[in-house]
């Protein structure tokens, strides 16, 4: 079956919905919003901490936020991207509020701002400790009110539809490839052809390729893998952010429950089981150091002492204030026998955020014409070597606006592609093959966690490469001779993403930002000075 839409949006987090709402408001065409599962399930909903934006101009300003972002990114962030996001932040917050998102406010009506690691000022807007859930709620309600947006739940994009076109302009960061839509797996198991004038990739992150992650299970890097297979440019994949403080609970590893960084901003102290503090050995900012420094410090202390977690302590804070600020974390920990007002919280680092992805320009355009990418699946250059806390949600909102503005400026010049072949779906999966797919998923998670984790080496990375290559050959053979199922497609995507992380980690011959390797422990700039 062939379907046609002016705008095809693949992904329903804050990035995809923000874009969909803006292009729909223009009245320039029909929008399809592809949701892999339900519209409620997205990385956005898992973001507890908040959204960073300069709003209190009495003490804060854009230059401070820019500097904080550049420092956290180890000075390889794109300055133009940083400025665009920071200066576009207040307008982005206003759009969220207008769509119905609520942020906590003080009695005088001003925003109740938090401060998180790496930020020099209080500039984190939040809604208790479930900010992402509140943003997702507000946007879902706005999307459901919009008749121009067709929400397609339990639809899975298998591949984007592309073709080389010699008439398009080729530059250093663009190809001669054009995107005309995507092949989409329906709930009935049929793969339909979705043609579009403009396609937006907003498929979220890659955390599910690791054994322990704060991401939902659907975060298998689908958009990045699809664009990579279509010969699009993918960058910065070596920069995987491991959140330093996921709740240590062996019963919940995938996804693990996130203990927001705002709790360290609130005054939480990292401690060993003995009660001893340790962050003073690693950074003068102590527990408020950027995430990569904190994650490596915890990882090292765990190895030194032979322990499988450390602790976060807020018992010195006012109990009622703690409950008011972090009601969901309080309830969650209490459900497993931990009263955070009296007990230390066991925490451990785990995969959290992908700073790399589909390379895009300031308009959110990828290297493939007519294809945009926004949100965690994109590489805007904002995060550089490490994402500054709470910069991701505002990046998604600002770049969604930029992509919407640009795609609306060209939509009237674009047409649908004729004679696109329908998907050739044949064969069937046996029960034995289904079991093997499930086992291969676990193997990818194990390979990535063991060899491509917080601390890396060439030996570990080459070992990961070799094992992923074997899985790739087996999976591609299976894919070519059987029916395409979501499980099989997700496995393909996980292998592609694991390969990209590993390859780009091998290519970076320095330790920088989130990428730390024992073979090249020096920063390249420092090594050149020596």
Q: What's the whole-number mean pLDDT along residues 214-237?
A: 95
- pLDDT tens per residue across span 36-66: 998 887 655 555 568 999 999 999 999 999 9
Residue from 129, 133, 131 nearest 330 by CA:
129
With bands split at pLDDT 50, 70 and 90, how would you rate the model's confidence at 71? very high
Comparison of pLDDT for 169 and 137, the residue scoring more: 137
- pLDDT tens per residue across span 120-158: 999 999 997 678 889 989 999 999 999 999 999 999 999
Residue 158 near residue 491 (C-beta atoms within 8 A): no
**Three-state DSSP class for residue 10:** strand
User: Could you tell me how many residues make up the chain?
Assistant: 530
- pLDDT tens per residue across span 493-504: 999 999 999 999
Mean pLDDT, the chain, integer: 92
Q: What's the whole-number mean pLDDT along residues 438-463?
A: 94
Asked if omega into 412 is within 30° of 0 (cis), the reply is no
* pLDDT of amino acid 530: 41
**Three-state DSSP class for residue 218:** coil
The three-state DSSP-derived secondary structure of 131-174 is: HHHHHHHHHHHHHHCCCCEEEECCCEEEEEEEEECCCCCCCCCC
Cα–Cα distance, 57 to 296 (Å, whole number): 34
Query: Is residue 418's pLDDT more than 90?
Result: no
Q: Return the H-helix or E-strand segment holding 460.
A: helix 458-481
* pLDDT of amino acid 333: 96
Check residue 414 and report its DSSP letter: -
Q: DSSP H helical segments within 411-457, as ranges?
A: 431-451
387 vs 236, 242, 265, 524, CA distance in Å? 12, 10, 16, 20
Which residues belong to the active site?
Answer: 291
Least confident of 25-29, 166-170, 191-195, 426-430: 166-170
Query: Is residue 525's pLDDT more than 80?
Result: no
Q: What's the whole-number mean pLDDT along residues 75-94?
A: 97
- pLDDT tens per residue across span 154-168: 999 999 999 987 666
Cα–Cα distance, 429 to 104 (Å, whole number): 50
In the chain, the percentage of residues whose pLDDT exceeds 90 is: 78
Residue 511 near residue 521 (C-beta atoms within 8 A): yes
With bands split at pLDDT 50, 70 and 90, how would you rate the model's confidence at 382? very high
For the residues of 236-259, what is the DSSP string, one character each? -TT-EEEEEEEE--TT--TTPPB-
- pLDDT tens per residue across span 268-318: 999 999 999 999 999 999 988 877 789 889 988 988 999 989 999 999 999
Query: Is residue 529's pLDDT more than 50?
Result: no
With bands split at pLDDT 50, 70 and 90, how would you rate the model's confidence at 346? very high
């Amino acid at each position: 079956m062939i379907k046609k839409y002016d705008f095809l949006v693949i992904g329903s987090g804050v990035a995809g919905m923000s874009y969909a709402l803006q292009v729909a408001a223009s009245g320039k065409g029909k929008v399809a919003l592809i949701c892999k599962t339900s519209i409620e399930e997205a990385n956005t909903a898992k973001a507890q901490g908040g959204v960073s934006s300069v709003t209190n101009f009495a003490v804060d300003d854009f230059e401070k936020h820019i500097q904080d972002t550049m420092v956290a990114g180890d000075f390889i962030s794109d300055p133009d991207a940083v400025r665009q996001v920071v200066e576009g932040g207040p307008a982005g917050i206003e759009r969220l509020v207008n769509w119905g998102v609520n942020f906590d406010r003080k009695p005088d009506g001003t925003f109740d701002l938090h401060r998180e690691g790496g930020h020099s000022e209080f500039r984190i807007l939040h809604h208790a400790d479930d900010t992402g859930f509140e943003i997702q709620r507000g946007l879902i309600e706005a999307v459901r009110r919009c008749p121009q947006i067709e929400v397609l739940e339990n639809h899975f994009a298998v591949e984007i539809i592309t073709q080389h076109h010699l008439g398009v302009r080729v530059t250093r960061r663009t190809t001669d490839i054009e995107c005309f839509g995507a092949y989409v797996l329906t709930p009935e198991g049929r793969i339909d052809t979705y043609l579009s004038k403009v396609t937006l990739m907003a498929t979220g992150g890659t955390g599910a390729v690791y054994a322990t992650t704060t991401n939902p299970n659907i975060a298998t890097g689908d958009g990045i893998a699809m664009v990579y297979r279509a010969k699009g440019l993918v960058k910065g994949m070596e920069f995987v952010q491991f959140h330093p403080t996921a709740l240590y609970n062996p019963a919940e590893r995938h996804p693990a429950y996130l203990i927001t960084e705002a709790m360290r901003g609130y005054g939480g102290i990292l401690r060993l089981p003995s009660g001893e503090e340790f962050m003073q050995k690693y950074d003068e900012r102590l527990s408020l150091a950027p995430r990569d420094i904190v994650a490596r410090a915890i990882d090292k202390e765990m190895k030194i002492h032979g322990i499988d977690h450390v602790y976060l302590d807020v018992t010195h804070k006012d109990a009622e204030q703690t409950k008011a600020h972090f009601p969901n974390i309080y309830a969650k920990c209490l459900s497993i026998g931990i009263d955070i007002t009296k007990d230390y919280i066991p925490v451990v680092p785990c995969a959290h955020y992908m700073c790399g992805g589909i390379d895009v320009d300031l308009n959110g355009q990828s290297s493939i014409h007519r294809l945009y990418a926004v949100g965690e699946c994109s590489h805007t250059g904002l995060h550089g070597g490490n994402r500054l806390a709470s910069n991701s949600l505002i990046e998604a909102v600002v770049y969604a606006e930029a992509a919407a503005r640009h795609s609306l400026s060209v939509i009237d010049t674009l047409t649908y592609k004729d004679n696109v072949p329908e998907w050739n779906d044949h064969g069937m999966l046996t029960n034995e093959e289904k079991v093997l797919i499930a086992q291969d998923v676990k193997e990818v998670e194990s390979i990535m966690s063991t060899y491509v984790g917080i601390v890396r080496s060439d030996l570990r990375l080459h070992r990961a490469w070799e094992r992923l290559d074997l899985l790739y050959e087996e999976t591609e053979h299976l894919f070519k001779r059987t029916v395409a199922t979501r499980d099989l497609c997700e496995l393909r995507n996980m292998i592609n993403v694991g390969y990209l992380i590993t390859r780009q980690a091998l290519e970076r011959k320095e330790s920088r930002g989130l990428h730390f390797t024992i073979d090249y422990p020096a920063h390249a700039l420092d090594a050149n000075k020596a």
